[in-house]
Each structure stands twice: as structure tokens, then as C-alpha cells.
Amino acid sequence: MCLGIPGQIVAITDSARMMAMAEVSGVRREVNVACIAQGPAEGLLGKWALIHVGFAMALIDEEEAAKTLEALRGLGEAQEALEAMAAGDAALEGQR
């Protein structure tokens, strides 16, 4: 929950609400980009960010993203984050 996970911004889904699609380890997840946007959200396309509980919190470069992901995998935290995202999707459908 606290370590976050790197993701790449691949689409803007709602620029007024600062929502974007991020690709995290091959999984797509809608995230809020208000904390990293400097101007219109479209400027973030292709950028990498550290994503904490669905919010992009810091811009990082691609090399830092790869290194962070490797460190998270070592701690088992990358898998944990991906499982939490899947659990979040299931919760939306009312599956308990």
C-alpha cells in the first residue's frame, strides 16, 4: 500500500477530472494524475510515474521505473499491487 508501483501513462481518459490510463506491468488501470500534471493532462502521455493506490504521485524516468519495479518484485510488493488492482476490479462488480 505504501510503496507504490511504476506505470506508464498511455491514454488520457478524462482530462477535466485528471484521469488517465496507466500501464503497470502489462496491466491497464485508470489513475488520477492531478499530482503530477504541469498543465493539461495530455502532456503526460508516454511519461512514467510512481503510482500509489491509484494516484500518480511522482514523475520518474524509464530507467528508474525499471529499477523500482525490480526492487518491488524482490520484495513481493509488485505482485501484491497487481493482486490488489484485480481485487478492486472485482469489488466494483459486487463480488465479495
Per CB under 8 A, residues contacting another protein are 1-4, 17, 29-32, 34-35, 37, 50, 52-55, 57-58, 60, 64, 67-68, 70-72, 74-77, 80-81, 83-85, 87-89, 91-92, 96
Report the C-alpha gap between 57 and 34 in whole angstroms.
8
Smallest distance from another protein to CB 40, Å: 14
Smallest distance from another protein to CB 80, Å: 8
Smallest distance from another protein to CB 54, Å: 3
Q: Which is nearer to another protein, 45 or 87 (CB)?
A: 87
Where helices occur in the chain by DSSP H, the ranges are: 62-75, 77-92
User: For residues 26-44, b (16+ Cβ closer than 10 Å) or e, as one string?
Assistant: eeebebbbeebbeeebeeb
